[in-house]
Amino acid sequence: MLAEIRGRSQITIPSEIIKKLGISEGDKFDIMERDGGIFLCPVVVYPKDKIAKIAKILKESENDTKTRTAFESVEDMFSDMGIDIDNV
């Protein structure tokens, strides 16, 4: 597929790729230049305060590792801890 650089160094990503990758306006990308090519990789960026809260919760939960059972998912673990991960 061809794309063209427009004003202010903007490139339109073909709609087929946007749909296939589930990309939306405002999504962030890691941009790399390698071997004469430009590579875009979609990324998720979490605010530092949320990362700090999750790190604190995980540190506190380390004390329970000897008495707790293994969980099937991170969501199950947070649910067991009484934490709604969507509101962290």
pLDDT tens, N- to C-terminus, the chain (88 residues): 888 999 999 999 999 999 999 999 999 999 999 999 999 999 988 899 999 998 888 888 877 776 767 788 888 888 888 888 887 7
Q: Which residues lie below 8 Å from residue 25, measured CB to CB, with a gap of 6+?
A: none
Residue 78: how many other CB atoms lie within 10 Å: 19
- Global confidence as pTM: 0.49
Is 38 strand, coil or helix? strand
Amino acid at 42: P
Domain definitions of the chain by residue range = 5-43, 48-87
Fold held by 5-43: Pemi-like Protein 1; Chain: D (2.10.260)
* 5 touches 11 (CB < 8 A): yes
CA distance 58 to 81: 11
